[in-house]
Structure 1
Amino acid sequence: MAPEYLCELVSIRKSSRKLRSSSQILLQVPVSRLKSYGDCAFNVAAPTLWNKLPANIRNASSLGNFKSLLKTHLFKVAFTDK
C-alpha cells in the first residue's frame, strides 16, 4: 500500500525463537547512532510508532477501519487526563 521507497526503509521483526510476540505484526527498529537526529529518521521513528499502537489497530481488516481506529485512539490519547 505504501510507495516502494518507504517499504524499503522498514522490515518486519523476525525472531529466531518462538515468542508470544511472534504472532503480532511488529516492525524491526534499527539502532541509531545519533540520538538527536537519528531517532527522528523515518526508518527509526515509523517502526517505533507502529509498534506502540494497540494490536487491534495494527490488525485492522481494512484501510478505512484502520483510519477510524487510529483516529479514535489518537483522540483518546490527546484528550484524556493523565
Structure 2
Amino acid sequence: MQVLLSSLSLDFDFETDYTGSYSTLCNVVDNGQLINTSRYVPNGGYYIVEYDVVLAFGLTELAAQYAWKENGVEKRCPAKITYDFQ
C-alpha cells in the first residue's frame, strides 16, 4: 500500500487539480503476520484477508500497524514502512 503526500491547498478543486498533486511518501508492507481466513465454495476454497492500516504520526516518526477483527476482538500487528528515495 502506498501512502501519498499532497501539496494541495484547502481550497483546491478536486476534479480539475487532482492530476499530479500527489507523490509517494512511503509504502506499508506486510511482514507476514496477517491472519488468512479460509473460505470454501462448492468448487474449491480461497483465502480472504480483511484489515485496516493504522498510521501513527509521532513527533519524529511514522509507525504503521495492521488491524483486523478475530472473533469480535480487534487484533494488531506491526507493519514495515519502506521509503524509496530517488
TM-score by length of 1: 0.20
Task: Find the structure with the greater CA-based Rg.
Answer: 2
Q: Which gives a bigger RCO, structure 1 or 2 (Cα 8 Å, sep 6+)? A: 2
Higher share of residues assigned helix = 1
Higher share of residues assigned strand = 2
TM-score by length of 2: 0.20
